[in-house]
Structure 1
Amino acid sequence: MSIENNIQLIKRFVAFINTANEKLAEELISTDAKFYVPGQPEPMHGPGGYLSIIGMMRSGFSDIQWSLEDKVVEENKVAARFIMRGTHNGIFFGVPPTGKTITVQAINFYRFSNGQIVEEYGQPDMLGLLQQIGAIPQV
């Protein structure tokens, strides 16, 4: 894939994660894709796995939105920096809703094949997120 195609793919992927649109998931994510999530011993798999990740985030932050702030693009890889914003209005990691808003950065690395995402290593700032909702004291 060309660099321009990869840029368009990552932009469409942001539209997917902000809507959790199942049709976009099927289009953009390979059924063989692996998603490595911090704190999970095994990767999540395929479109359903990514929809589960989004579902987990939306269970605690129903209005969560991701914005793509920076990207570095190569032949079949993209490094992306996101900012996640939302309101803590549901239980998240056992923490009851606080009504607090969050602004959290994430750095993710993607690998593409045949116009689809086949691998992601996600690194959200979970410490910062948990501090913002009062689950962990600020240092």
Structure 2
Amino acid sequence: MPLEAVKSVMNRFVEFINTADEGLGREVISPDAAFHAPSHPEPLRGPEGYMEVIGMMRSGFPDVQWTLEEMIGEGDTVAARFTMRGTHAGEFFGIPASGNRVSVQAMNFYYLADGRIVGERGQPDLLGVMQQIGAVPAP
């Protein structure tokens, strides 16, 4: 894919994860996409699978927002660094709401085909999240 097309897909993807707009999700994510998330032992599939991840995040952090800080592409593969910010206002991985604001990084790889995301391998800083919500002591 040309660089401008890759940027467009990624910008629309960020809009999708920040709004949880299911229609937008179907636009930018292939129905056959596989998402490998550390929170799930098996890959999640398609836009519905990604909505599951967004739902999990929004249940713990209703105001969660992601900022795409940088991305590097080679062919149809994109490496992206995000900052996730939100307020721990609901249960997250069994930890009751703390009211703490969090700001953590994530490094993800995206695989694109035909103008859509067909795969993702995500590595969010879950340790940083758990430290910032008070579930794990900070060093």
In 2, are the aligned partners of 1:3 and 1:74 still within 8 Å (CA)? no
The CA distance in 1 between the partners of 2:25 and 2:70, in whole Å, is: 22
Q: Which runs of 5+ in 2 are unaligned?
A: none
Deviation per CA, 1:23-43, whole angstroms, max 9, x where unpaired?
A: 001110001000000142110
**Where in structure 2 are the equivalents of 1:88-103 lying within 5 Å?**
88-103=88-103
Amino acid at match of 1:3: L
Q: TM-score, normalised by structure 1?
A: 0.98
The CA distance in 2 between the partners of 1:65 and 1:87, in whole Å, is: 10
The CA distance in 2 between the partners of 1:20 and 1:37, in whole Å, is: 17
**Where in structure 2 are the equivalents of 1:30-109 lying within 5 Å?**
30-109=30-109
**What percent identity do the matched residue pairs reach?**
56
Moved more, 117-126 or 37-46: 37-46
Q: TM-score, normalised by structure 2?
A: 0.98
- The 1:29–1:66 alpha-carbon spacing in structure 2 relative to 1, beyond 3 Å, is same
The Cα shift of 1:55 comes to: 0.3
Deviation per CA, 1:68-109, whole angstroms, max 9, x where unpaired?
A: 001001220110000000000000011111100000100000
How many residues align? The count is: 139
Q: Which runs of 5+ in 1 are unaligned?
A: none
Q: Find out whether 1:119 has 2:119 as its counterpart.
A: yes
The Cα shift of 1:16 comes to: 0.4
